[in-house]
């Protein structure tokens, strides 16, 4: 299939239908009416703004969550904004189906309405980057800038976002460190089309700095400071935010995710297919066959998924995996690779190790021989010898990796993420076996298909 | 058995009998006569001196090699000393049973006479440390000093020497780094008796500096320089040579050998027995049982013993063992311990390793992904992923340790001692098996009985 045909087919499935579009527009209209009513009732000077991909018409079919920002005048004290903002959000949400309070820099209301998730977020009504006071304030400016510059290339954004999702490089969350939606929009505006962006994968990296709004000319001092700071941080890209010269839009983009984009863009241009957009289907294989092929072993720590959002849970699992890597290597096991995640209500840390048993006798270094502690060591151990000034002895050790892990956990010798420490300690440890629901994760991990650039 | 009884029994076997003594004295007399004749015949101004344990009457029964030094006047040029010394040695040796030329700082004659080894060594006839010109010149002064100070405690020296031999701590050769005979004599002279020396094992170490001839008073500047230099080298003892304040008699004594003496002295005083003097008899065991007990594996590199003296061969084998330790650890095998030696015409390097196979697939780091070399790496490998900016790939590797060693040797990736490199490369590699004649070495090594302080 040629590239245009592939793109056309993909567009058919990701472009919202007229029905979806009508539904979304009706929904927004209705929400705006409710919001305005409540603002009046509470006698507030607040403007409601829709932001995000819905407001920019860059959402993917079926993916139409609403972000309704409640903008307070700049002179509102922060404390008042928090309080009144939450009160207003709750008043609006009362008219919807259900809601809960969620927490970011300040609390906001997350409601459900007609099957759609609706975030009601208080912010300041900023007109300019110099006014920005909280992390969410820029969203209104982003929406405005994209809408002013996209010039009908909304489907190009949809293609790029879907492509990034398909190759596992979408999302600026800390546990993804990929491309944000706003970054995708900027790249389309800058380079004109989905295919142009793919073709620029190498060029962008070499050019490094992207400045779509010309800040380096308009505010050279502030913009250069951003470039210098981000250069020092060694980011793959420095995209000066069109609405704020102090900010690198791609500050959270990792080299790994950029690298995936880099190779997948190349592959797609060479050999286009729909698979790039939707992930490979049927990447099934047997994790047991992988273990046999590689001669390695799989240790899985598993426990009921704690009630934490991914932003918290996944970094904590990663920290724990790294803790196991270090602790096991001190114990003579090599961790070749690790993976973390959750599936069907189970959180897991998977460790691929080089062997399941280690030698039964190991060598224990002791103190200098001519000291009190040296004499203790000499008395306590059966076989003792000297290398340099120090005594050494044989020590019998637990041989199975599971026993070693249990002992490490018991002695608190593994650095674990603090929110998952107790879960891991009371969880299950599996060797060369995972339950049905984790079989695919185990396969993708062990076969490296999860991150294989050629997968 | 009480300590006096043990000592008495040991003395009976190490003190030369009257017959041996008479034989040795007759031999020395005869040799002196031959030497003086030849000196006259050649018209040389040379004095023959007996040195070493025979001349000091501190030799062990049955161990009566002769050192006959041929002392030239100080004004003799070095070249002439070498030439005439060798000529004289050969002339003397012609009257003996057989001889060969051996090489140290300068060549000397090693002869055999009536079953006894006779070294004929040219040197300068020094009266004082300031005259010392070659490494052997001090021997005459040592003999003179010991004979002047030992005061009949010759048997105490014999006990100490035999004890040090029995615990494997005798000999100042580079591959032993233990106590020299001269050091044993000094310690007896300083502390009075064999038992006193054992009791001072801890005290000596703490006092650190032993100065039997009072050099720190007589030549404070030179002696302090020696103390400072040797302190910096962190020697277990600093024994200022009674005949030369510039020299630490125990410069070659290692912490390991001092440590063995330290613990064995303590053990002997607590629980005396003849075993300390003659080594444990019947320390036999099965190396295969040791391997099973420990769950480890034994790799033995074996080849015909090259025609090298131990001073050269053993350090080269040690260097090679360390080379294997490093190279194998890079390859994912852990070397727990190593040993080298030769037995029945076979030289060997033994390595105790943690496993005989390693995982069949390992991870290979590649270049940065956005480079020419990155693209090469990407094209060449089947599964490729990114960590940071670098590409990584799976690599199939040789799995058996023997294959790994063969490949390492073939690619010259093991640092080997230069005189044994080719022997090792063309030698045999054995896994978990040694020929009959190395079984005891393998057992002593694997069981750690070789250096076990409690063995």
Q: How many CB pairs lie under 8 A apart between chains A and B?
A: 127
pLDDT at B4 (0 to 100): 94
Cβ(A74)–Cβ(A46) below 8 Å:
no
Helix B401-410 × helix B310-330 angle, to 10°: 110
Does residue B283 register a pLDDT over 60?
A: no
Q: Extract the tokens encoding A243.
A: 């609405």
pLDDT per position as a tens digit, B175-202: 889 999 999 999 999 999 999 999 999 9
**Which chain B residues are Cβ-neighbours of A396 within 8 angstroms?**
none
Q: Which of B255, B260, B294 sits opposite A360 (nearest CB)?
A: B294
Give the Cα separation of B181 and B166 in Å (integer).
Answer: 14
Looking up tokens 């799976």, which residue turns up? B394
pLDDT less than 70: residues of chain A: 280-283, 455
- A 375-404: CB under 8 A from B: 378, 382-389, 391, 394, 399
Give the contacts of B153 (CB within 8 A, at least 6 positions apart).
B188, B189, B192, B193
Q: Which of B260, B263, B448 sits opposite A383 (nearest CB)?
A: B448
**Which chain B residues are Cβ-neighbours of A382 within 8 angstroms?**
454
Q: Does A432 touch chain B (CB under 8 A)?
A: no
Residue ranges and CATH numbers for the domains of chain B are 12-143 (3.30.460.10), 150-275 (1.10.1410.30), 287-358+398-446 (3.30.70.590), 361-396 (3.30.70)
Q: How far is B416 from chain A (nearest CA, A)?
A: 22
Q: Does A359 touch chain B (CB under 8 A)?
A: yes
Looking up tokens 């040796």, which residue turns up? B93
| Of B57-66, B218-227, B340-349, B358-367, the least confident | B358-367
Whether residue A106 is annotated as binding a ligand: the answer is no
Q: Does A316 touch chain B (CB under 8 A)?
A: no
Q: Are strands B390-396 and B384-387 parallel, antiparallel or unpaired?
A: antiparallel
Q: Which of B206, B259, B369 sits opposite A259 (nearest CB)?
A: B369
Which band of pLDDT confidence, cut at 50, 70 and 90, is reported for residue B281? low
Give the Cα separation of A436 and A434 in Å (integer).
Answer: 7
Q: How far is B399 from chain A (nearest CA, A)?
A: 9
Phi-psi label, residue A299: left if phi above 0, alpha if psi -120 to 50, beta otherwise: beta
| Of A9-18, A136-145, B139-148, B352-361, the least confident | B352-361
**Which chain A residues are Cβ-neighbours of B383 within 8 angstroms?**
447-449, 452, 454-455
Q: Kindly report the length of chain A.
A: 455
Q: Which of B259, B332, B385 sits opposite A448 (nearest CB)?
A: B385
Three-class SS state of A242: coil
Does residue B339 register a pLDDT over 70?
A: yes
Whether residue A84 is annotated as binding a ligand: the answer is no
Q: How far is B384 from chain A (nearest CA, A)?
A: 5
DSSP string, B415-442: ---TTTHHHHHHSEEEES---GGGHHHH
Beta strands in A159-278 (DSSP E): 209-210, 238-241, 244-248
CB contact under 8 A, B259 and A389: yes
Whether residue A170 is annotated as binding a ligand: the answer is yes
CB-based burial label for B305 (10 Å; 0-12, 13-18, 19+): middle
Give the Cα separation of B440 and B431 in Å (integer).
Answer: 16
Binding residues of B for ATP: 53, 56, 142, 161, 170
**Which chain A residues are Cβ-neighbours of B451 within 8 angstroms?**
385-386
- Mean pLDDT value across residues B59-82: 94
Cβ(A308)–Cβ(A340) below 8 Å:
no
Instruction: Determine what percent of chain B is predicted with pLDDT higher than 70.
Output: 99
Q: How far is B252 from chain A (nearest CA, A)?
A: 13
pLDDT at A361 (0 to 100): 78
CB contact under 8 A, A359 and B378: no
**Which chain B residues are Cβ-neighbours of A404 within 8 angstroms?**
none
Give the Cα separation of A389 and A374 in Å (integer).
Answer: 10
Three-class SS state of A253: coil
Three-class SS state of A351: strand
| Of A232-241, A323-332, B326-335, B353-362, the least confident | B353-362
Cβ(B39)–Cβ(B85) below 8 Å:
no
Cβ(A189)–Cβ(A150) below 8 Å:
yes
**Which chain A residues are Cβ-neighbours of B205 within 8 angstroms?**
370
**Which chain B residues are Cβ-neighbours of A260 within 8 angstroms?**
386
Cβ(A261)–Cβ(A164) below 8 Å:
yes
Measured between alpha carbons, how far is residue A400 from residues A275, A299, A329, A339, A412 in Å?
A: 42, 11, 14, 21, 18
CB contact under 8 A, A358 and B354: yes
Does residue B169 register a pLDDT over 60?
A: yes
Phi-psi label, residue A135: left if phi above 0, alpha if psi -120 to 50, beta otherwise: alpha
Three-class SS state of A388: coil
Helix A401-410 × helix A310-330 angle, to 10°: 110
Q: Extract the tokens encoding A188.
A: 């389309």
pLDDT at A279 (0 to 100): 76
Dihedral sign from CA coordinates of B101, B103, B106, B109: negative
Q: Does A296 touch chain B (CB under 8 A)?
A: yes
**Which chain A residues are Cβ-neighbours of B260 within 8 angstroms?**
386
Does residue B282 register a pLDDT over 60?
A: no
CB contact under 8 A, A360 and B399: no
Q: Does A355 touch chain B (CB under 8 A)?
A: yes
pLDDT at A18 (0 to 100): 95
Give the Cα separation of A69 and B288 in Å (integer).
Answer: 76
B-interface mutation test, from A364, A370, A375, A380, most B Cβ less than 10 A away: A370
Q: Are strands B346-353 and B335-343 parallel, antiparallel or unpaired?
A: antiparallel
Radius of gyration of chain A (CA): 27
CB contact under 8 A, A452 and B383: yes
Compute φ and ψ for A326, nearest 5 degrees. -65, -50
- Mean pLDDT value across residues B303-326: 91
Q: Which of A263, A359, A451 sits opposite B295 (nearest CB)?
A: A359
Does residue B135 register a pLDDT over 90?
A: no
Looking up tokens 């006798």, which residue turns up? A361
Give the Cα separation of A165 and A60 in Å (integer).
Answer: 11
Helical segments of B214-309, H only:
215-218, 220-232, 255-270, 275-278, 287-294
- B 200-229: CB under 8 A from A: 202, 205-206
Q: Extract the tokens encoding A289.
A: 């066959």
- Mean pLDDT value across residues B438-445: 89
Helical segments of A58-200, H only:
78-94, 138-149, 154-166, 181-191, 194-199
Three-class SS state of A393: strand
- Mean pLDDT value across residues B361-369: 87
Using alpha carbons, select from A138, A164, A327 the residue that is nearest to residue A253.
A164
């Amino acid at each position: 299939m040629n590239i245009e045909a592939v793109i056309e087919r993909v567009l058919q499935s990701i472009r919202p239908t007229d029905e979806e579009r009508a539904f979304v527009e009706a929904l927004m209209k209705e929400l705006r009416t409710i919001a305005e009513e409540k603002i009046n009732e509470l006698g507030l000077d607040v403007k409601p703004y829709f932001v995000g991909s819905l407001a920019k018409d860059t959402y993917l079919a079926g993916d139409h969550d609403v972000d309704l920002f409640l903008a307070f005048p700049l002179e509102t004290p922060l404390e008042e904004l928090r309080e009144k903002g939450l009160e207003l959000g709750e008043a609006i949400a009362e008219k919807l189906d259900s809601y809960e309070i969620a927490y970011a820099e300040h609390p906001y209301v997350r409601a459900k309405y007609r099957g759609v998730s609706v975030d009601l977020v208080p912010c300041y009504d900023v007109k300019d980057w110099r006014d920005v006071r909280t992390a969410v304030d820029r969203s209104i400016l982003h929406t405005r800038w994209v809408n002013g510059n996209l010039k009908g290339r909304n489907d190009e954004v949809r293609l790029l976002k879907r492509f990034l999702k398909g190759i596992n490089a979408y999302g600026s969350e800390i546990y993804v460190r990929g491309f944000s939606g706003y970054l995708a929009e900027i790249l389309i505006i800058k380079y004109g089309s989905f295919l142009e962006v793919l073709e620029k994968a190498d060029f962008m990296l070499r050019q490094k700095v992207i400045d779509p709004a010309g800040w380096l000319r308009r505010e050279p001092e502030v913009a250069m400071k951003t470039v210098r700071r981000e250069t020092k941080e060694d980011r793959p890209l420095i995209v000066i935010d069109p609405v704020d010269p102090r900010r690198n839009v791609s500050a959270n983009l990792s080299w790994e995710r950029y690298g995936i984009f880099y190779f997948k863009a190349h592959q797609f241009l060479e050999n286009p297919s729909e698979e790039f957009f939707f992930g490979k289907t049927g990447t099934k294989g047997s994790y047991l066959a992988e273990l046999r092929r590689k001669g390695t072993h799989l240790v899985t720590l598993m426990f009921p998924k704690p009630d934490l959002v991914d932003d918290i849970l996944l970094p904590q699992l990663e920290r724990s995996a790294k803790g196991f890597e270090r602790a096991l290597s001190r114990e003579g096991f090599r961790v070749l690779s690790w993976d973390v995640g959750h599936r069907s209500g189970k959180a897991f840390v998977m460790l691929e190790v080089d062997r399941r048993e280690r030698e039964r006798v190991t060598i224990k270094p002791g103190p200098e021989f001519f000291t009190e502690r040296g004499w203790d060591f000499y008395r306590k151990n059966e076989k003792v010898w000297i290398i340099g000034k120090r005594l050494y002895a044989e020590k019998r050790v637990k041989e199975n990796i599971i026993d070693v892990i249990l002992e490490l956990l018991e002695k608190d010798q593994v650095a674990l993420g603090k929110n998952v420490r107790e879960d891991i300690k009371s969880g299950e440890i599996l060797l060369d076996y995972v339950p049905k629901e984790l079989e695919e994760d185990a396969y993708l991990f062990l076969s490296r298909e999860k991150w294989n650039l050629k997968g």
